[in-house]
Amino acid sequence: MGSIKRDEDVDLNERLIVDRAEDQDTHQHLWPRLLTESNKLWRIVGPAIFSRVAGYSMNIITQAFAGHLGEVELASISIANTVVVGFNFGLLLGMASALETLCGQAFGARRYHMLGIYLQRSWIVLFLCCFLLLPVYIFASPILKLLGQTDEVAEQTGLVAVWLIPLHFSFAFQFPLQRFLQCQLKNQVTAWVAVAGLLVNALTSWLLVYVLDFGVVGAAVALDISWWFTVLGLFVYSLCGWCPLTWSGFSMQAFYGLWEFVKLSVASGVMLCLENWYYRILILMTGYLKDATIAVDALSVCMSINGWEFMIPLAFFAGTGVRVANELGAGNGKAAKFVTKVSVTQSTVIGLFFCALILILHDKLAYIFTSSANVVQAVDQLSFLLAITILLNSVQPILSGVAVGCGWQAWVAYINLGCYYIVGLPLGILMGWVFKLGVTGIWGGMIFGGTAIQTVILAIITIRCDWEKEAEKANKRVQKWSIPNPENDQPEEQH
């Protein structure tokens, strides 16, 4: 018995020595690892920021051209983009993020051929979903009248919404193509195509609105053309020889396992659209306040600033999801954990910078958009909440990206539903109307009751994550969803 005890002590000491050696080795190689991971992460994040800002700018250009036509035209384009298109944009974007889980893990496991099959499955699912969402565009006018919009604005918005249906269907192809390329670290092409699309948007808007005098319909058609131009660019790059490992042609295998794919896509869509709709509801609720004109204007200024800056966390969301999925697919749980630490740290530093900038320029922010003294003062009063929102948004999307990389979309959808709509929204209503704190109360309640709690919950889940177990789950998912033994795959090797 004594000899067995001595053997156990020897084994324990040997393990401790090995663990200390590994820890020392890890610390010695921390900076090279950090630089290597940062390089991989920013190969996704950098172009993603660029392409998202370009896409966001297309809407700004369209609104600018419409704004010179008249107030009704500006209102119709703005409502069509933010409410009608925005309602569907979040859902379809979220559904496409299922590819970040599946393609990312398959690429990490070197099941390269599956990326093309997943891409085709996503096209099928999102294209069918676009048909299901068509009533939102077709009946936009009566829906907006029901929500309290004037007949003139509602009718004009309904007309614009119908002309934006081609834009709606472009999402079904563009979002999957973007994620297909992101998971291969070929994100640069999406940035260049987005810039080209932005130039096409500016040119076609000028041609259709000013030269051909098609008015607000011309502005909508210009947006359609520019988005489909980006789809065509990504399509040609992906399918015409630049992705030989991951695209081997159209396949009937894309129709197999669609139900499982639908469930993951819907979970991803619900997860993201619950976040996307949350702050749109904030603007809608503010519109029902007494003397709400200045409050809505001030909040719109804050949301515009937040929207521009939010492109950075959204890019980190994409980069984190892809990198975590890559490492889990390759069976590297510890590497996935390291990716999470690097991404959260870098995004938080950027968030702190912009948070400080907002607080420093609190009384000058609104001059970018307006010269109204009342609106400038109102924005000044909201600047603290804007700074807190930007800071939280520098952490929360990255944690959501970790969830996408791990395949936790369904759980996060429940968390979002509970935090945003069961806690945050009622608290905002309570602070805004019952305690008569107006827009400050509504926004503050929704931040601290919704976003802050959700961020804390996701942080706890991420900290407590068993990364090796997640790597095993990823391996099982790849094995379950993959069709084995293609010539160009090497599943037994790791990155």
Q: Which residues contact 305 (CB under 8 A, 6 or more apart)?
A: 358, 365, 368, 386
What's the pLDDT at 491?
A: 44
Q: Angle at the Cα of 475 (from 472 to 479), degrees rounded to 5?
A: 140
Could you give the CA distance from residue 48 to residue 314 in angstroms, rounded to a whole number? Answer: 8
Burial of 416 (0-12, 13-18, 19+ CB in 10 A): buried
pLDDT digits (tens, 9 = 90+) for 377-401: 888 999 999 999 999 999 999 999 9
Q: Which of 64-73, 77-86, 142-151, 349-358 is the most confident on average?
A: 349-358
The whole-angstrom separation of Cα 217 and Cα 205 is 10
Bigger pLDDT: 296 or 443?
Answer: 443
For the chain, the farthest-separated pair of C-alpha atoms sits apart, in whole angstroms, at: 95
> What tens digit of pLDDT does each residue of 353-367 get?
999 999 999 888 888
* Residues 400, 272: Cα–Cα separation, whole Å: 9
Q: Indicate the pLDDT class of residue 10, thresholds 50, 70 and 90.
A: very low
70 Ramachandran zone, left/alpha/beta (phi>0; psi -120 to 50): left
pLDDT for 174 equals 94
Average pLDDT over every residue of 255-263: 82
Q: Give me the pLDDT at residue 18, please.
A: 38
370: tokens are: 């307006």
d(CA 428, CA 440): 9
Angstrom distance (rounded) from CA 247 to CA 235 = 11
Q: Is the pTM of this model over 0.75?
A: yes
Question: Considering only CA atoms, which of 60, 51, 84, 274 is closest in space to residue 179?
Answer: 51
Give the span between the Cα atoms of 71 and 294, in whole angstroms. 17
Q: 364 CB contacts (<8 Å, ≥6 apart)?
A: none
Q: What percent of the chain has pLDDT over 90?
A: 34
CB neighbour burial string for 167-188, b if at least 16 within 10 angstroms, e if fewer: bbbbbbbbbbbbbbbbbbbbbe
Q: Which of 74-83, 141-150, 348-357 holds the top average pLDDT?
A: 348-357
Say how many residues make up the chain: 495
Report residue 254's pLDDT band, with 50, 70 and 90 as the boundaries.
confident
Evaluate if residue 293 carries a pLDDT over 70.
no
- The pLDDT value recorded for residue 348 is 95
- Write down the pLDDT at residue 86: 80
d(CA 419, CA 423): 5
| Predicted pLDDT of residue 15 | 40
Q: Which segment of 209-218, 267-276, 448-457 scores lowest on mean pLDDT?
A: 267-276
HEC readout, the chain: CHHHHHHHHHHHHHHHHHHHHHHHHHHHCHHHHHHHHHHHHHHHHHHHHHHHHHHHHHHHHHHHHHHCCCHHHHHHHHHHHHHHHHHHHHHHHHHHCHHHHHHHHHHHCCCCHHHHHHHHHHHHHHHHHHHHHHHHHHCHHHHHHHCCCCHHHHHHHHHHHHHCHHHHHHHHHHHHHHHHHHCCCCCHHHHHHHHHHHHHHHHHHHHHHHHCCCHHHHHHHHHHHHHHHHHHHHHHHHHCCCCCCCCCCCCHHHHCCHHHHHHHHHHHHHHHHHHHHHHHHHHHHHCCCCCCHHHHHHHHHHHHHHHHHHHHHHHHHHHHHHHHHHHHHCCCHHHHHHHHHHHHHHHHHHHHHHHHHHHHCCCCHHHHCCCCHHHHHHHHHHHHHHHHHHHHHCCHHHHHHHHHHHCCHHHHHHHHHHHHHHHHHHHHHHHHHHCCCHHHHHHHHHHHHHHHHHHHHHHHHHHCCCHHHHHHHHHHHHHHHCCCCCCCCCCCCCC
pLDDT (0 to 100) of residue 291: 63
Look at 107-116, 127-136, 302-311 and tell me which has the smallest mean pLDDT: 302-311
Q: How far apart are CA 409 and CA 268, in angstroms?
A: 5
**313-351 residue pLDDT tens:** 988 998 999 899 999 998 999 999 999 999 999 999 999
Asked whether the predicted pLDDT for residue 177 surpasses 50, the reply is yes
Looking at 236-245, 298-307, 373-382, 425-434, which range is the least confident one? 298-307
**Rounded-to-integer distance, Cα 391 and Cα 103, Å:** 30
- CA 405 – CA 458 distance, rounded (Å): 14
Per-residue CA distances from 448 to 270, 281, 288, 357 (Å) = 22, 16, 21, 21
Contact predicate 151/208, CB 8 Å: no
**CA atoms of 145 and 127, how far apart (whole Å):** 28
Does the pLDDT at position 490 exceed 70?
no
